[in-house]
Chains A and B, each alone.
Chain A
Amino acid sequence: MRDWRYRFDQHKATLSAALVFVVIFGIYAANHPAGFSANVVQTAANKGVLLALVAVGQTFVVLTAGIDLSLGAIFILADCLASWIVIGSPLMTGLGIVGVLLAGLACGAVNGALVIYGRLQPIVATIATGAIYFGLALALRPNPGGDINGDLADALTGQGPGGVPVSVVALVVIMLLVWVPFRRSVLGRAAYAAGSAEVSAYMSGAPVARAKFLAYCMAGLFAALGGLMLAFFTYSGEASSTNAATYTLNSIAAVVIGGVSLFGGSGSAVGAIFGALIFRTINDLLFVFDLDPLWQPLFLGLVLLLAVSLGSLRLLRVRNRLELFGP
């Protein structure tokens, strides 16, 4: 019984994010003019999965108490790259996908190397590498365009048997293949430990440097997966600086809403997925309730600000002012 309680506490943030999502999505579906149908779910899922993938990537880094402000740029770079190489015969398409994912992994590895082995501050280092990645995307696609394997795109953005959106199935499969093994591995545990208390983790012999490096690589990989999905949804590539900035910002918002601590060491990528879905559904709610589109950016900004301000509730537990200042 004690064990059950402990486990519940550990997953409380994730569970409450899931609960909030169910409630909000229920309101959304109930008020949608077309009613609750497979098509409504499909559209919502496709938009949600994009942000969810980038948010999962951000989670890896945030868990280690870092931050990656270049994920939006990697996301866009993958989109532009995919619009060149993910096309042609099944073999060519497959190789193209591998190429895009490797590019994302490489971007993440550069970030990781700069932060861990170069000992740069994650904020500045990833802002600078973000400029590089966005420049590369712009070089690939100075003007929006390109093409992508249409059959695969239709398959991945359509509905499977029973009206289940394929993109959600893909997300679940990816999480089962990557997140679950990561969470249970030594490196995954070391990533949590590094985010919680880096020096203690180091002194206890946890492979801190390797775990953090892996986290940045994973962030790049997931941002590239998101970019690949974006290419499948839009059938083209576009180097949009607005999109890059928006996805970077929204991935952080999703992570925070999903109950992952920005100070590192607590939270889960599953929570971040629900955070992303919540963020997206709030956006859609504004449509359903006929809010003037002009109000949307402001409303989303306020939601984000409110979500991050919830973190200050911990101030109520502080007994000694000195605890505020950290180590």
Chain B
Amino acid sequence: MTMRIDPADPAPPGLFKRLDPAVLTAFGCIVALLLVGSLYSTSFLSPGYLLQQLQVGAFLAMAATGMMIVILLGQIDLSVPWLVTVGGMMSTAAAGYGPWGAAFAIPAGVLCGVVFGLVNGVGVAYLRIPSMIFTLGINAVAQGLMILRTGGSAPQDMATPAMHGLATGHALAGIPNAVWIWIVVGAVTVFVLRRTTFGRSVYGIGNREAAAYLSGINTRRIVLLAFALSGGLSAFAGVLLAGYSDKAYQGMGDPYLLPAIAAVVLGGTSILGGRGSYLGTTAGVILITLLQSILSVMQIAEAGRQIIYGVVIVAMLLLYGRGPRVGS
């Protein structure tokens, strides 16, 4: 006897069932953090403070978006620190070339990041070098180039008014411009990942590259494109950051690698690729930003922050980031 299946009842599962438990956990942690923070100071729940956190989080969100696309492929991009710096430094450098340079400062910075990202993509997709080591190498090369540029002389490193406005202004409805940018980039990413061939191919390659290849996907081009996107987004984070602090400097991208990976992984994206949602990454970014903010408000020293960071990430990974058992 078979179960009767009602054809009219393939109802979409409820909202809570559709949501990844990891994403729910991440949002739960955000609420918990806010509650802990509000015990410490009531200003934690004020809209002004929350908007400011979102504004700061937007820079991390750019880097994390690129990182997420790469991680969905089952790869990783460890060149984020110096690509962020490349973005900041090259955009401010372009600003030195008169009014035309200033007008094209932002695209120039992003374009440099895309170029580095393309090299990453060629190494990973066409030369088939493990992304972890190749992107580390590109990070070192980018670092070398930036040191070469800034070391001997004091080049132009001031942000243009446009960059400053983009990162710190409030053009619309009292919400920081950086948050608007985050919303736009987020919406585009969701559309690309869910509704385009590129996005579905990214998930396919992340699940099983050989199968994706056999189904006719040009896997190498998709990987190349994903790394270029990641490079461009990292550089864009650098552009915003340079606008925020009004100048570009060496090492400005250093505090972005671990948080970007952590935000993606805490948001429930599988580090092995093929699984994860942008909502989760958003939650991860907010979670990391709030954690950083609360730790600094409580005046915990850098040492303690690093330790708590590491412990929280390991704990979250143990909760839902575990791989399959060998031999089963």
Taking Cβ atoms with an 8 Å cutoff, the residues of A that contact B are 67, 114, 118-121, 123-125, 127-139, 142, 198-199, 202-203, 208-209, 241, 249, 252-253, 256, 262-263, 292, 294-302, 304-305, 308-309, 311-312, 315, 321-322, 324-325
Main secondary structure of the interface of B (DSSP, over half): helix
Let me know if A132 and B271 touch, CB within 8 A.
Answer: no
**CA–CA, A201 to B282, complex, Å?**
41
Let me know if A312 and B129 touch, CB within 8 A.
Answer: yes
**CA–CA, A130 to B258, complex, Å?**
10
Q: How far is the CB of B287 from chain A (nearest CB, A)?
A: 15
Let me know if B303 and A136 touch, CB within 8 A.
Answer: yes
Chain B residue at smallest Cβ distance from A129: B310
Q: How far is the CB of B122 from chain A (nearest CB, A)?
A: 10
Q: How far is the CB of B168 from chain A (nearest CB, A)?
A: 27
Q: How far is the CB of B250 from chain A (nearest CB, A)?
A: 10
**7 closest Cβ contacts across the A-B interface?**
A298-B144, A135-B306, A301-B140, A132-B310, A135-B307, A138-B303, A131-B310
Let me know if A305 and B213 touch, CB within 8 A.
Answer: no
Let me know if B209 and A325 touch, CB within 8 A.
Answer: yes
Most A CB contacts (10 A, CB to CB) among B130, B208, B313, B326 go to B326
Let me know if A202 and B254 touch, CB within 8 A.
Answer: no
Please name all residues of chain A whose beta carbon is closer than 8 Å to the beta carbon of B271 when the two chains form the complex.
Answer: 121, 123-124
**CA–CA, A295 to B265, complex, Å?**
36
Among B4-12, B169-177, B317-325, which stretch is in contact with chain A?
B317-325
Q: How far is the CB of B178 from chain A (nearest CB, A)?
A: 26
Can you list 25 A-B contacts with CB-CB less than 8 angstroms, sorted by A residue number? Answer: A120-B317, A120-B322, A121-B271, A121-B323, A128-B309, A128-B314, A131-B309, A131-B310, A133-B310, A137-B303, A138-B306, A198-B326, A241-B254, A252-B136, A263-B130, A292-B152, A297-B140, A297-B143, A300-B140, A301-B137, A301-B142, A305-B140, A312-B128, A312-B129, A322-B210
Let me know if A305 and B137 touch, CB within 8 A.
Answer: yes
Let me know if A124 and B129 touch, CB within 8 A.
Answer: no
Let me know if B322 and A308 touch, CB within 8 A.
Answer: no
Let me know if B128 and A315 touch, CB within 8 A.
Answer: yes
Let me know if A305 and B134 touch, CB within 8 A.
Answer: yes
Q: Is B132 an interface residue (CB 8 A)?
A: yes
Let me know if A325 and B261 touch, CB within 8 A.
Answer: no
Given known A135-B303, A241-B254, A322-B213, contact A114–B314 (CB-CB < 8 A): yes
Q: How far is the CB of B230 from chain A (nearest CB, A)?
A: 16
Q: Which of B291-328 contact A (CB under 8 A)?
A: 301-311, 313-314, 317-318, 321-327
Most A CB contacts (10 A, CB to CB) among B132, B145, B301, B306 go to B306
**CA–CA, A121 to B148, complex, Å?**
35
Please name all residues of chain B whose beta carbon is closer than 8 Å to the beta carbon of A262 when the two chains form the complex.
Answer: 130, 133
Among A124, A299, A302, A322, the residue within 8 A (CB) of B321 is A124
Let me know if B258 and A128 touch, CB within 8 A.
Answer: yes
Total A-B contacts with CB atoms under 8 angstroms apart? 161
Let me know if A309 and B123 touch, CB within 8 A.
Answer: yes
Q: How far is the CB of A128 from chain B (nearest CB, A)?
A: 4
Please name all residues of chain A whose beta carbon is closer than 8 Å to the beta carbon of B134 when the two chains form the complex.
Answer: 305, 308-309
Among A120, A138, A209, the residue within 8 A (CB) of B318 is A120
**CA–CA, A134 to B307, complex, Å?**
8
Please name all residues of chain A whose beta carbon is closer than 8 Å to the beta carbon of B322 when the two chains form the complex.
Answer: 118-120
Let me know if B323 and A127 touch, CB within 8 A.
Answer: no
Q: Is B127 an interface residue (CB 8 A)?
A: yes
Interface residues on B, range: 35 or more
Let me know if A127 and B144 touch, CB within 8 A.
Answer: no
Chain A residue at smallest Cβ distance from B142: A301
Main secondary structure of the interface of A (DSSP, over half): helix
Please name all residues of chain B whose beta carbon is closer than 8 Å to the beta carbon of A312 when the two chains form the complex.
Answer: 127-129
Let me know if A131 and B307 touch, CB within 8 A.
Answer: yes
Among A203, A241, A299, A325, the residue within 8 A (CB) of B210 is A325
Please name all residues of chain A whose beta carbon is closer than 8 Å to the beta carbon of B313 when the two chains form the complex.
Answer: 124, 128, 131
Chain A residue at smallest Cβ distance from B131: A123
**CA–CA, A114 to B316, complex, Å?**
12
Let me know if B306 and A131 touch, CB within 8 A.
Answer: yes
Q: Is B76 an interface residue (CB 8 A)?
A: yes
Q: How far is the CB of A294 from chain B (nearest CB, A)?
A: 4
**CA–CA, A309 to B309, complex, Å?**
34
**CA–CA, A119 to B272, complex, Å?**
12
Let me know if B133 and A298 touch, CB within 8 A.
Answer: no
Please name all residues of chain A whose beta carbon is closer than 8 Å to the beta carbon of B258 when the two chains form the complex.
Answer: 127-128, 131
Please name all residues of chain B whose beta carbon is closer than 8 Å to the beta carbon of A133 when the two chains form the complex.
Answer: 310
Let me know if B307 and A136 touch, CB within 8 A.
Answer: yes
Given known A297-B140, A301-B137, A309-B123, contact A67–B307 (CB-CB < 8 A): no
**CA–CA, A43 to B63, complex, Å?**
41
Please name all residues of chain B whose beta carbon is closer than 8 Å to the beta carbon of A249 when the two chains form the complex.
Answer: 136, 139-140
Q: Is B73 an interface residue (CB 8 A)?
A: no
Q: How far is the CB of A102 from chain B (nearest CB, A)?
A: 19
**CA–CA, A296 to B254, complex, Å?**
20
Please name all residues of chain B whose beta carbon is closer than 8 Å to the beta carbon of A132 when the two chains form the complex.
Answer: 306-307, 309-311, 314
Chain A residue at smallest Cβ distance from B316: A128
Most A CB contacts (10 A, CB to CB) among B258, B311, B314 go to B314
**CA–CA, A64 to B56, complex, Å?**
40
Given known A67-B132, A136-B307, contact A295–B141 (CB-CB < 8 A): no
**CA–CA, A127 to B265, complex, Å?**
12
Chain B residue at smallest Cβ distance from A293: B151
Let me know if A119 and B325 touch, CB within 8 A.
Answer: yes
Let me know if B140 and A120 touch, CB within 8 A.
Answer: no
**CA–CA, A244 to B272, complex, Å?**
26
Among B138, B152, B261, the residue within 8 A (CB) of A124 is B261
Let me know if A120 and B141 touch, CB within 8 A.
Answer: no
Chain B residue at smallest Cβ distance from A325: B210
Please name all residues of chain A whose beta carbon is closer than 8 Å to the beta carbon of B31 when the two chains form the complex.
Answer: none
Given known A120-B318, A131-B258, A322-B213, contact A315–B127 (CB-CB < 8 A): yes
Q: How far is the CB of A42 from chain B (nearest CB, A)?
A: 28
Q: How far is the CB of A257 from chain B (nearest CB, A)?
A: 12
Let me know if B129 and A118 touch, CB within 8 A.
Answer: no
